[in-house]
Structure 1
Amino acid sequence: MLMLKPFINYSSISIMRQCFHHRHLSSHHQSYYIANLKSKSLLTITGKDSADFLQGLITNDIRQLSCDNHSKYNSSCIYSFFLNNTGRIIADLFVYRFMTKQNNENNAIIFLEVDHQLSSILTKLLKRYKIKSKVSIRNTESDWQCYAIFPCVAENHSSEIVRLNDEDSKTILINDPRNNHFGYKMISTIQSIDELICRLNEMNPSSEWKISKVDEDRYRSFRYQYGIGEGILDFPAESSLPFDANGDILNGISFQKGCYIGQELTARTYHTGVIRKRVMPIKIIDPPIESDQMLQMQNIIDTQGKTVGRFRSNYGNQGLAILKFDSILSDSKLKLSSTGHRIQTWRPFWWPESIIEQQMKLSSS
């Protein structure tokens, strides 16, 4: 049985000070935003079989949520995918471990942060797979909130590891598990962003940084600028593969764990190394569009009229598309097939060089 071992719980402020001793939330006068992710829901999974239950359902390794000091795993949040039988994404999700004490015993609660539109579907699927597992599944939408804390300009936070798992304030705060450039993930029972900002200021009293509250659209704009997909708008249910979603370079897939639903195609793709398309950022150049104008999903074509990808979503002139990387290397004049908008794309700065080398080999083969 997989065991999720507990953190030692301290008071809210003492944990915050401990976490940020010589590790401030900001550096070099960096400014941050905090947004309440109202498009997200939180499901909870409790029970002694919860870890084993999830291990067979998601692409990542639930053992990373262990905090055993003698283990190579130690985290309180991982990124992952829930796939269908053919290996296509039903939902992308963040998996949190929160420790609480009941009857003088430490117990783990697992939270699943998912797109609000998918919470009912995912709940039904989880209950279908439950069978005889001793787990309880419920929606905690009214109790807990999801937040993103992200920089005005993405930078590496690798030296600023944050971990807060506090029973007193019922808050989890941690570096975004996908990439250290993306900021921080937080779930909390604190409903007021102003109160959260006050607590964050207590955590880091330095005057060299500031944090401002913004709406979720600002976070969406940040994600699109850096080519980060999230939720049903960017990954329509059962239409994308984990590699399309950059799951391999966003720490969302384990290639060492055992079997899980949809693993066969994912494992085969990994071992063959043939990945021809990925989510990439795009900018809509011409004609200009309004900030609140949403374009329909449509194909992306090159100068020869050949389909090289699929437009997914946009916020203003920024958006995401799944593109055949080898095709766009030789053609920078791309446009949307239905609306005729000209677009530009680029390689996200956080992509490893190995991805580029792999795509160059594919394009020349």
Structure 2
Amino acid sequence: MFKLKSTFFIRYSYRHLSTKSYYLANLKSKNLLTITGKDSIDFLQGLITNDVRYKSNDNHSNSTSCIYSFILNNTGRIIADLFVHRLITKQNDYENNDAILLLEVDQQISSILIKLLKRYKIKSKVSIKQSDTNDWHCYSLFPTVIENNLNEIIQINNNESNTIFVNDPRNNYFGYKILTKIQSNNELLSFLNEMNPTWKIIDIDENRYRSFRYQYGIGEGSLDFPIETSLPFDANGDILNGISFQKGCYIGQELTARTYHTGVIRKRIMPIKIIDPLVESNEMLPLQNVIDSDGKNVGRFRSNYGDQGLAVLKFDSISSDSRLKLSKTGHRIRTWRPFWWPESIIEQQMKLESS
């Protein structure tokens, strides 16, 4: 039913493939905003932290039609994190400014973002709208076992299959991003099985994806990054390919660039596990501080799903054996460094802990 044709922008390889297991989650918490028009690239380029024009050739993401990025306010705080998908057609390519951009955003703040984008539109020749929920659907295809499981570099972006399929641009361990016009999960599973028969794919709900993210310290959306409370470094934007330090000006750049060039980042979002009291899978704990055994504030709790959660924590105030607890609810928690953090970040943390 779903024939993969090589007539336009399909790149993948079956060499050295082995059977791998993945979860497929329909991300119903996401909305897509569409930006089209003569000035679409220039318009977005001045608003987000990453470079819309950048073509990645490294092994970390190797994705040319999807980037991860942030929209900041004037003081450099995160308004939203987002994925920017560039839809490739026979009428537009990477050399043209006239592009179809699909912004994958948290549905809780999609209306806020539309108003914000229209406010900055001024005389730019762009059209900004929210995609119909029956048009494109957002999915994540992520590994059942992430450690030592680098994913094959695959990219599909064509109108014939009505599907955009790319490696997650944040990190090649995280699986794949999918935008599709295919209407049912079963049809999408058939498409994916035809694309790569070696994969074993298990259809699950979005909560499993959230649990996966929390286990590995991956924040996403307004629940993990409340509007205008976090810096992009708090969100690990620098090590998740979410910030370009070579592009031109964008809103909030001054503080971001200054923080980067000073080389001192003392807090980052990290995974936590709630030890006791036990929490139910549907029990959401409130935003609150994280304190150590002396009652000193060492971070800020963000969100949880069951006993997995995220908190922004200070490197120089904690270690893996620190006795941490939530200030309001009294829950004891523990934290650890995600395995995917680059060595440079781990070395910086160790220096801060020992200073």
The residue aligned with 1:177 is 169
The residue aligned with 2:314 is 324
The residue aligned with 1:94 is 83
**Does residue 270 of the first structure (1) align with residue 268 of the second (2)?**
no
The residue aligned with 2:4 is 13
Cα 1:30–1:248 change in 2 (3 A) is same
Distance in 2, matches of 1:171 and 1:278, equals: 34
The residue aligned with 1:352 is 342
The residue aligned with 1:133 is 124
Please give the residue correspondences for 1:160-171 in structure 2 after superposition, counting only pairs within 5 Å.
Answer: 160-171=152-163
SS of the equivalent of 2:231 reads coil
The residue aligned with 2:142 is 150
Offset of residue 36 of structure 1: 0.8
The residue aligned with 1:252 is 242
Q: Which residue, 284, 307, 318 being the options, matches 2:297?
A: 307
Cα 1:23–1:283 change in 2 (3 A) is farther
**Residue by residue, what CA displacement relative to the aligned partner does 1:27-67 show, whole Å, maximum 9, x if unpaired?**
3x321111110100000111111111111100001112599
Offset of residue 156 of structure 1: 5.1
SS of the equivalent of 1:283 reads strand
Cα 1:159–1:293 change in 2 (3 A) is closer
Distance in 2, matches of 1:189 and 1:66, equals: 26
**Number of aligned residues:** 344
Cα 1:122–1:60 change in 2 (3 A) is same
Distance in 1, matches of 2:269 and 2:15, equals: 32
* Kept after mapping to 1: 8 A contact 2:149/2:173: yes
| Structure 1 stretch displaced more, 14-23 or 121-130 | 14-23
Q: Where does structure 1 lack aligned partners over 5 or more consecutive residues? A: 1-10, 68-72
Offset of residue 159 of structure 1: 6.0
Equivalent position amino acid for 1:140 in 2: S
* Kept after mapping to 2: 8 A contact 1:281/1:320: yes
Offset of residue 205 of structure 1: 2.1
Identity, in percent, stands at 73
Equivalent position amino acid for 1:169 in 2: S
Distance in 2, matches of 1:221 and 1:363, equals: 28
Please give the residue correspondences for 1:171-320 in structure 2 after superposition, counting only pairs within 5 Å.
Answer: 171-206=163-198, 209-320=199-310
Offset of residue 191 of structure 1: 2.0
Offset of residue 193 of structure 1: 1.0
Cα 1:78–1:157 change in 2 (3 A) is farther
SS of the equivalent of 1:266 reads helix
Equivalent position amino acid for 2:119 in 1: R
Equivalent position amino acid for 1:278 in 2: R
Equivalent position amino acid for 1:47 in 2: G
Aligned-residue CA RMSD (Å): 2.2
Equivalent position amino acid for 2:120 in 1: Y
**Does residue 362 of the first structure (1) align with residue 352 of the second (2)?**
yes
Offset of residue 242 of structure 1: 0.1
Q: Where does structure 2 lack aligned partners over 5 or more consecutive residues? A: none
Distance in 2, matches of 1:88 and 1:185, equals: 26
* Kept after mapping to 1: 8 A contact 2:233/2:265: yes
SS of the equivalent of 1:100 reads coil
